[in-house]
Amino acid sequence: MCFSATASFTASVFLAGVGSVTWTQARTPGERPFAAIPLLFALQQAIEGVIWLTFRYQAPALNVGLTYAYVFFSHVLWPVFVPVAVLLLEPPGRRRRTLVVFVLAGSVASAWLLYQVLVYGVVSQPLGQHIAYLAPHFFAVVTMLLYVVSTTVSLLLSTQRMARVFGGLALLSLAVAYGVYSTWFISVWCYLAAMLSGVVLLHFKGQALLQRWGQHHPLGS
């Protein structure tokens, strides 16, 4: 498997299309964050596509700025955004209260990773036809555990079937990325998770079908 500017831009265009449709399917403010996931991944992939070009055309200043922009998504945004999006899908109750714990876990991971990036910096380099994002990581095991729990397990706890499917696929892609592409884990897992975020559209399409079915087959008719 090989990744490149073309792969990143192709993924970005695909996700922008999926995300645009998904966004129009969201019916309530609480559904908007979950619906926005493919669009946010589209932006992240577009950023990585341009990072590839900065290597080719030797644009170090642009590379630094976009590397930090990419890492904002990968390190800071997702551990908080995903559990919040899942929580907002849930009706009030025990499940929603449990998800607050995952939001807190993601917030801790996000804040700690942001601190490390700001203090110690991050560098992107093309290595072996992939991009490696190089930064020191302290308390890496604990941080990774909080990150994985907040970005995948929170989805598995949802009452929404396609959210659980997305979480399961994200967890599987994590195992593949770490097992096969550990040197480029950040880039590869984000790419795989981005492509899998198309599952979000199926959630809203399923909701729309159920709504239409209910309109034509009301209870008691």
Residue 218 confidence (pLDDT): 52
> Given a cut of 50, is residue 72 above it in pLDDT?
yes
> How much of the chain exceeds pLDDT 90, in percent?
74
Torsion angle in degrees (nearest 10) through CA of 203, 195, 156, 19: -40
Residue 50 confidence (pLDDT): 97
pTM here is 0.90
Residue 137 confidence (pLDDT): 83
> Given a cut of 60, is residue 212 above it in pLDDT?
no
> Given a cut of 50, is residue 220 above it in pLDDT?
no
Residue 221 confidence (pLDDT): 45
DSSP letter for 91, please.
P
**Mean pLDDT, rounded, for 203-211:** 63
**Mean pLDDT, rounded, for 94-120:** 96
> Given a cut of 50, is residue 126 above it in pLDDT?
yes
Q: Which of 35, 59, 44 shows the shortest CA–CA distance to 9?
A: 44
- Cα–Cα distance, 194 to 188 (Å, whole number): 10
Residue 206 confidence (pLDDT): 65
211 pLDDT band, cuts 50/70/90, is: low
Mean pLDDT of the chain: 90
Q: Who's near 42: CB < 8 A, 6+ residues apart?
A: 11, 12, 13, 14, 15, 16, 19, 194
